[in-house]
A and B are shown apart, each in its own frame.
Chain A
Amino acid sequence: DIQMTQSPSSLSASVGLRVTITCRASQSISSYLNWYQQKPGKAPKLLIYAASNLQSGVPSRFSGSGSGTDFTLTISSLQPEDFATYYCQQSYNIPPAFGGGTKVELK
């Protein structure tokens, strides 16, 4: 099975800053990588699919890049509503594994 590793596991940042989260797959997954945002007590929400495609309704300050084994999620200017936990997920095959998550907190 493919393993997904995210870093960092948590970060503190201020509003307006640029934030980058990385995700690494244990083998090449081409561009089959997705990003989700989860707020406390809520279901995850799909932000980006196929590595770099913005899901409908997601603000353009979110972007994704990468292919093969290394991927990044970037928030260009952190907003108050962006404080949440972010997960990557490989969609190359089943089982569709998730990374361990990155909690973005207010500094």
Chain B
Amino acid sequence: EVQLVESGGGLVKPGGSLRLSCAASGFIFSDYNMNWVRQAPGKGLEWVSYISGSSTYTHYADSVKGRFTISRDNAKNSVYLQMNSLRAEDTAVYYCARFPFPCGADCYNFDYWGQGTLVTVSS
């Protein structure tokens, strides 16, 4: 069974840092490109960042570029999101989500999601 379990959320002051983790199981982790997607309270979904299976490629939303860093450790079946210079508008539930592999008809849909971890940025 595919499982994605996020951790590391919490309350942090504006300007602070936080590192989120996502532990994967039930599939060959290194084959899959991974993402972070967030959802502010009462709002819609916003893609945040992407990392390829071998960590060769990363992408970021403009709203977090230069402040957030995605990384992964395939030996630990985990993907991470280092968040620096946090702002109130970064307050959200952060989901870890997988792109499919192999990706026949569509490579950029999110076929499995974790349960999310809440990040609150407030003084």
Which A-chain residue is minimally distant from B45 (CB atoms)? Answer: A98
Q: Is the CB of B110 within 8 A of A36?
A: yes
Bound Cα distance A21, B5 (Å): 31
Which B-chain residue is minimally distant from A53 (CB atoms)? Answer: B105
Q: Is the interface of B mostly helix, strand, loop or mixed?
A: loop
Q: Is the CB of A95 within 8 A of B106?
A: no
Q: Is the CB of B114 within 8 A of A95?
A: no
Number of residues of chain B lying within 8 A (CB) of chain A: 21
Q: Please report the number of residue pairs spanning A and B whose Cβ atoms sit closer than 8 angstroms.
A: 65
Number of residues of chain A lying within 8 A (CB) of chain B: 27
18 new A-B contacts at CB < 8 Å, known A96-B35, A98-B44, A98-B46: A32-B108, A34-B110, A36-B45, A44-B45, A44-B95, A45-B113, A46-B109, A49-B100, A49-B111, A55-B111, A89-B110, A91-B108, A91-B109, A94-B50, A96-B108, A97-B47, A98-B45, A100-B44
List residues of chain B with CB under 8 Å of any chain A CB. 35, 44-47, 50, 59, 61, 95, 100, 105-111, 113-116
List residues of chain A with CB under 8 Å of any chain B CB. 31-32, 34, 36, 38, 42-46, 49-50, 53, 55, 87, 89, 91-101
